[in-house]
Structure 1
Amino acid sequence: MKTDAQILMYNFKEDERTRQISRYLNIAGISCKTVPVTDYLHPLGYLFGLTGFSPSPQFNLGGNFSDEMLVMHNFSQEQQTDFLGFFHRNGLAPVDLKAVLTPVTQHWSSLKLHGELSKEHTLMHKK
């Protein structure tokens, strides 16, 4: 069952957890792309193949992050709920940094989104 849903994955290790996530996405018909560090400056809209977006002319000379991040696009509410519940149902560690592509964030680079999600995550988990 192929859908229009797409997901970008960052910094996932080649391990059993990642294989389970990939299997889930494949069965659900969700297109998945692993984003290499060399693409971190391109607009998210470009990485998702949206019309009107071009690659960044800049080279990524050191901008990087090592934590996992997911960006979802064209997920229905049901797909999003089921995907996020998949981690809990299977006893898998959750992904702390995740986002849904928006009209604003489609213009952002992966580095900018990561920075914003990291700030939000830190604020939400402050004691």
Structure 2
Amino acid sequence: MKRKEQALLYGFNDEERIRAVRKALDRTSVPSRILPPEAHHQKVGYLIGMKGFRVTPPDEDEEDFVFPHEVLILDKIKGKRLDEVLAALAAAVSPGVQYKTVVTPFNTFWTLRRLCETMQKEHGALAERDSKKED
């Protein structure tokens, strides 16, 4: 069975923001699912329902993972359709969701934790670059 468009929400704690994001996604006909905090050790491929991925038991030695940001993962949404979904989210949610990503052939093999940490590093690098431009 072919996967369809979907959005995964991780780290959303404010019910009002969850409703606003889900309402914007509903308006664009994108189904959404909220991931539990303990999903961080699962592969992205498993979380989106890709064939060949299985649940990963937590690593006994793994330290607790607390990611203080909301994360929106968009699957099977590309091009103009992606622009449409992002515009609907921007219009409905203020401040916007800072950490957004699309599923790629590469990040399907990453854990959700690695995806979050990579986005955080990229955002930090972009913020540093932008602050240097302002000087």
Name the TM-score, length of structure 2 as normaliser: 0.82
Which protein has the larger Cα radius of gyration, Structure 1 or Structure 2? 2
**Displacement of 1:93:** 1.2
Counterpart CA distance in 2 for 1:45 and 1:88 is: 26
In structure 2, C-alpha distance between the alignment counterparts of 1:71 and 1:87, rounded to whole Å: 13
5+ residue gaps, structure 1, are none
**Counterpart for residue 116 of structure 1:** 118
The separation in 1 between residues aligned to 2:45 and 2:80, in whole angstroms, is 23
RMSD: 1.9
Q: Larger % of helix: which?
A: 2
For the pair 1:66 / 2:68, whether they are aligned, the reply is yes
Distance of 1:27 and 1:69 partners within structure 2: 20
Q: Report what 2:44 is aligned to.
A: 44
Distance 1:68 1:103, change over 3 A: same
60, 70, 86: which one aligns with 2:88: 86
| Structure 2 unmatched runs, 5+ | none
Q: Which residue of the partner structure matches residue 27 of structure 1?
A: 27
- Distance in 1 of aligned mates of 2:89 and 2:57: 37
Q: Is the 8 A contact 1:64 1:111 kept in 2?
A: no
Aligned residues: 125
Q: Provide runs of 4+ in structure 1 moved above 4 Å.
A: none
User: Normalising to structure 1: TM-score of the pair?
Assistant: 0.87
